[in-house]
Structure 1
Amino acid sequence: MKETILASARELFIKKGYTATSMGDIVKAANTSKGNLYYHFTNKEHLFLDILEKEEDRWASLWTKYEKECSTAYDKFIRLAEFSGSTQAQYPMQMALAEFYAKEHDSDLIKEKIEELEQRFVHYYHKILEEGVLNKEWTIEEIDEKSEMASAAFTGLDICFYLRDEKERIKLFKDFAQVFLKGMMK
């Protein structure tokens, strides 16, 4: 039943957004009871974060397959940009996620979980940038900061170009990745 709740809630968040989706909507869509819903999830925030974690696991699994096709850090960075712009990687919950992040969260646990999810993406950029330095493909100082900048920039691109067609998104992401790398290299 937990998976049914997650699937139903995911569809509602995609369709209606985070704020407009109520626990009552989720109960109805999942054809379950409030008691069953609250047995699995203490509140809407925890349910949403559980869905996000599963979405990011799916994204990571797909990216790992693409990453293996690349032989250099430069290729990986560009390929990550193309992958991020592709429909396959497109995050259908992007708008609900942006709405969720903009909301004030009182719980330290929620704030920690959001930070943990954000750091997963920062890690991908850090790993590639560090590999490029180690392989002498480029010289980049302050890799931690540059990794956070890359993650934030690509998240922004994803939000801004969400409705563009796939071919255009991929080109925009790839072009930005090339500009970003060129601007960082010494």
Structure 2
Amino acid sequence: MAKPLQSAWSDPSPKLAKVARQIAQSRSGPIVDLACGEGRHFALFLSLGRNVIGIDIEKSKLHFARRMLDLYVVACRNPGRAHLVQCDLENDEWPVRKGVAGGVVIVDYYSRRVVERAATIPAQDGAFYLQTFGGQGGNWVSLPHAGLVRTILEECGYEFVFYRERAVGPVGRDAVSVHTLAKRTRIPREPSTHTEKSE
């Protein structure tokens, strides 16, 4: 990571940092950082020259991210471009179309609805990276059951670079934290909405 980037943002997730170059390899569109917060994760991809879209619901965090971007662009050679958007991931329309992104990154956040929508964003050859929060305290109640995320991604045409689950919460509740990187190798055809007329 570039030195001026380190001075602008707090350190990114070490797990994401290890695979950032793999995610950035896609030849398709921007890297989309969902629930991006203050930008410490999308900054990784800026430093690799990739354009990014950062989306978060909190205006104050996006304001901080914009200030840091101003410092970073001045200090760093050949950074990617960033587009930051305030958006409620659960309820609003997203500012990115299906099948066009180079990759999607989600760190310390989980919602089944968001994962299902996010899985449709990468282009064929794009990446999907998910690192849920752990099961500390009562957080486990918001995490998926075993195998759910794997099924969602497989149905959207992904093959796994790695897929790891860890059981969390009380015994027998079937909640897991998930850490995965997957590559989209095909885009399944959506069911037709047209009704054929009988002759």
- Fold match, TM over 0.5? no
More strand by share: 2
Larger RCO (CA under 8 A, 6+ residues apart): 1
TM-score, normalised with respect to structure 1: 0.26
The TM-score with structure 2 as length reference comes to 0.25
